[in-house]
Amino acid sequence: MANAAAIHILVKTEKQAFELKEKLAKGADFAQLARKFSICPSKKKGGDLGEFRRGQMVKAFDDVVFKKELLTVHGPIKTKFGYHLIKTLYRN
């Protein structure tokens, strides 16, 4: 079973997700932005979701984590929770 670790920022609007992605592109700290803006409980850990298995997250999230480039901020990805910016740290 494949495992991965990722950090993310979850916000309510696509507009806000794009604004945060722009800040990240300009060198802003992912963990600081997560703590300040994310609406997910993981914000306390700078957006760190820890390690999880394929299938534990909603499909749109899984597709990014298990298929897209590592260490790159992907998104906004829309799920029933809102809009995510996702950065996969590793997978095996």
Residue-wise pLDDT tens digits, 32-44: 999 999 999 999 9
| Residue 75: predicted pLDDT | 98
Alpha carbon 66 to chain centroid distance?
13
The tens digit of pLDDT for each residue in 4-62 reads 999 999 999 999 999 999 999 999 999 999 999 999 999 999 999 999 999 999 999 99
pTM exceeds 0.75: yes
DSSP 80: T
| pLDDT score of 1 | 76
> Which residue ranges make up each domain of the chain?
3-91
Task: For domain 3-91, give the CATH number.
Answer: 3.10.50.40
